[in-house]
A and B are shown apart, each in its own frame.
Chain A
Amino acid sequence: MAFQLSDYLVTDDLTILLCLIAASLFLLSNLYKPQPLVHPILLGRQSDVARVRNPGQSAVYRNYGTGMMGRLPVRPAKDINLLTDLVKVDFDAPRTLWSTKITNPELRERFMNFGTGLIRLTNLTAKESNVLVLLDDSIEFLLADLALASHSIASFTLTSLDLLSPVLERHPPDAIICHASFLPQLMELIYDSAETGHHTIIVVGESPDGPLTLAGVRVLKWDDVEKNGKQTEKIISPAPDPNDIFTVSFFSSRPGELRGAQLTHQNLTAGVAAARVLLPLSSAISPLDTIVSAHSMNTAYGRSIAYMAVYEGTSFATLDSTKIFAGAEATAEDTSDLTNVSNLPIPFPTIAFLKPGHVHSLTTSILERAKQSSRLLFQTAWRHKLSGLAEGFLTKDSLWDRIVFEGARQTVVGVGAGTVRGVVVSGGPLEAAALPAARVALSVPIVNAFTNPLVPGPVLASHPLDLQSFPVPGEASSDPFAQHYHCGPPSINVEAKLLGVKDDVVEAGGDPEGALFVRGPSVGKELVFGEDSWEQVNGDEEGWVATGVRGKVVSNGTFKVVVA
């Protein structure tokens, strides 16, 4: 017996060689497994939950980082109480906002000039007058907003063009600011509505058809107003209180209704505080970044992104699809929308706030392009990326990116493809089944945020390094939440709860499902037009505001949202 065994166990130098190779391969495969970007234990508890809940409601959920006992952050830094404080005084490096290279002191100078000129040339009074701002996102919008806020004059903005006539009718403003190309349309509306009051219109840009006049309407040029302010003595108004309303953003969730989101200075500083922590701390926003946004500044969320960019000192631009007034041919939300931003003289975008349409279009184009180059390489790269994702790991600098994906990205997005380092998606549901493909194609942290017209800043925002993917049931599922990707826990200064929850389901351990209500320093108040007058709706007696969507919470504290 022993004789036969030693025959089989004959070893030679090849054995030693093979032994060494086998040992090193074993160590390699075990030690160099990709490490998750965030430890999975943290992903199991993303919300802090209250210990008690009222019957028919879920418990109150807060972000785990804030905690049930913590204070909800109200401002991004200690002294930022008003909108104008967001233009930091001590920061003076130049950056490009849309197509203007400007520093903070210059920005301050310009909006103070405009404010002074506006008050001198029109008869606006603080706290009483209203100005309707009909501008697409541009530096003039920012200047007008800051100027009006600094003089406590409320500004009105519209999120869509069909709200213009109802607003002119029910809440006539004292002055209007609009683009030159929109002026004829506006004049027609004023003429049609037979307004007895006198309007003042401030026009941005040159009118292509020459100067327009209408009885009872005074037309001023933006440049003239700024020049007037520059040449005359500055008017300094008393500083507004952070709880003063500085803007009303009119929106409608159903055709025919008109609702206004009244935002105070505090709502917006809280929104900026929440928006700036969307991306991981290790790659926080700095003045070297360039932010592009697909959300118009006419909406509360778009406004908070713009002001976050202003506060952080980054360059900023918005995509063409945000245009409502001038050039309102509907621009599709896809890749070309994103690539057209390279027409502006801003540096390559690093952080993009997009809509689901953009992400979907980018993913399909990039993956198609990658498949075209080499089928076999693409399959191998795809497998490697997916196995990395299953371990919770994703990077833009891996071997496979360099071989396959980076080339595809550059072809689709342009030379600036390599600089994008974070994407925040909001404005619609994101499909859970499509997300791994999007992650592979973009290979950057993708944050899914839920936003609401009443809340500047995100309401719910997913963890940026959360790469978990759960099985998605097939098409035949009756659960409306099943196909959507989760929106994460509430953002750092929002409390959320669900109303209309089935108590027996929750007591048995099921997931609470109901209407989503939120509360927090960034939630604005609503203005609703009743039978013939405006009424302020403050939410219920504890300050909870209805968002109008249905939500479901799962056991790790993340919310899934479905429009009711």
Chain B
Amino acid sequence: MPSFDLGAPINTALLLYILYAVQRILFPPSSSVKSKSTQIPTEFKHGYSWMPKAHPPTVLFTTYTPKTLEPYNGKDGGRILLAIDGTVFDVTAGRNFYGPNGMYGNFAGRDATRGMAKQSFDEEMLTPVDQPLDKCEDLVPEEIENMKGWIDHFSNKYIICGKLVENDAI
């Protein structure tokens, strides 16, 4: 004859667990228990009503001068900026090209308009930061076309994050 000994410790433990589980199913924990912690979860795994920690990163459109643009050459591991025809592009994503060791590293933090037009990465294409911006009046139409093509390429690939003005304009 099968024995039913409820007094046995294992049976009691199991019975208690069953009663607890049934109580949880029939009477789910009310929301007042959950809202004890007023910290909103920042991961979706930690809760359904979650909120990301931070906004998606946005860059503030800034007006740069050659002097303020120069530090952004990636040498300290920071952002890399590059200017063409008055428009400043954030080319940090292209660190391989425009970083300190990259092929076009000369252009980082500088006005690259003439270099882009003449398709050259030499130092002569860059004007020193304390002099006025390169007016590029001596460029032939083909070179201007080339430069505009580069501006299109950069606009599609990188972020436009500012404009370049003369050193004394700010």
Contacts and interface: CB of A to CB of B under 8 A. Distances in A.
A470 B49 CA distance: 6
A25 B18 contact: yes
Among A10, A18, A53, A553: residue with most chain B CB under 10 A: A18
Interface string A1-30: 000000011111111001101100110110
B35 interface: yes
Contacts of B28: 383-384, 387
Contact of B59 (A29, A51, A509): A51
Contacts of B161: 52
A28 B61 CA distance: 55
Nearest to B161: A52
A554 B51 contact: yes
A14 B59 contact: no
B1 to A, nearest CB: 10
A40 B54 CA distance: 16
A469 B34 CA distance: 12
Interface in A436-469: 436, 467-469
A334 interface: no
Contacts of A26: 21
A36 interface: yes
A470 B62 CA distance: 36
A12 B10 CA distance: 10
Given A40-B50, A41-B44, A29 B21 contact: yes
Nearest to B24: A29
Contact of A15 (B10, B25, B29, B159): B10
Interface residues of B, number: 46
A380 B15 CA distance: 24
B55 interface: yes
B52 interface: yes
A392 B47 CA distance: 10
B5 interface: yes
Contacts of A386: 30-31
A44 B55 contact: no
B140 interface: no
Contacts of A509: 54-55
B51 A12 contact: no
Contacts of B141: none
Contact of B51 (A18, A19, A512, A555): A555
Interface in A366-399: 380, 383-384, 386-387, 390-392
A511 interface: yes
Query: Which of B17, B18, B56: most chain A Cβ within 10 A?
Result: B56
Interface string A302-315: 00000000000000
Given A25-B21, A386-B31, A503-B60, A556 B51 contact: yes
A74 B157 CA distance: 27
Contacts, number: 134
Contact of A49 (B8, B48, B55): B55
B103 interface: no
A414 interface: no
B52 A556 contact: yes
Contacts of B44: 39-41, 43-44
A470 B26 CA distance: 26
B50 A13 contact: no
Interface string A43-75: 111000111111100010000000000000000
Interface in A221-242: none
B5 A10 contact: yes
Contacts of A511: 55
Contacts of A387: 28-31
Given A22-B18, A52-B58, A386-B31, A14 B11 contact: yes
B48 A40 contact: yes
A14 B10 CA distance: 10
Contact of B48 (A53, A392, A471, A554): A392
Interface in B46-104: 48-62
Contact of B11 (A18, A53, A391, A468): A18
B136 interface: no
Contact of B14 (A18, A55, A469): A18
Interface string A286-330: 000000000000000000000000000000000000000000000
Nearest to A468: B49
B49 A15 contact: no
Contacts of B8: 10-12, 14-15
A540 interface: no
Contacts of A479: none
Nearest to A512: B55
A44 B52 contact: yes
Contact of A555 (B4, B11, B55, B60): B55
A50 to B, nearest CB: 7
A507 interface: yes
A422 to B, nearest CB: 21
B40 A555 contact: no
A468 B35 contact: no
A436 B2 CA distance: 51
A438 B57 CA distance: 35
Contacts of B4: 12-14
Tell me which of B28, B40, B53, B57 has the highest count of chain A C-beta atoms within 10 A of its own C-beta: B28
A53 B22 contact: no
Contacts of B10: 8-11, 15
Contacts of A28: 25
B131 interface: no
Q: What 8 pairs across the A-B complex have the smallest Cβ distances? A: A387-B28, A18-B14, A468-B49, A25-B21, A40-B44, A13-B2, A392-B48, A14-B4
10 contacts: A12-B2, A12-B11, A14-B3, A22-B17, A43-B50, A44-B50, A49-B56, A387-B29, A468-B48, A469-B49
Given A53-B59, A383-B30, A470-B40, 19 more contacts: A10-B10, A12-B3, A13-B2, A15-B8, A18-B18, A29-B21, A29-B24, A29-B25, A40-B50, A41-B44, A49-B55, A53-B60, A55-B62, A383-B28, A387-B31, A470-B49, A509-B55, A512-B55, A555-B51
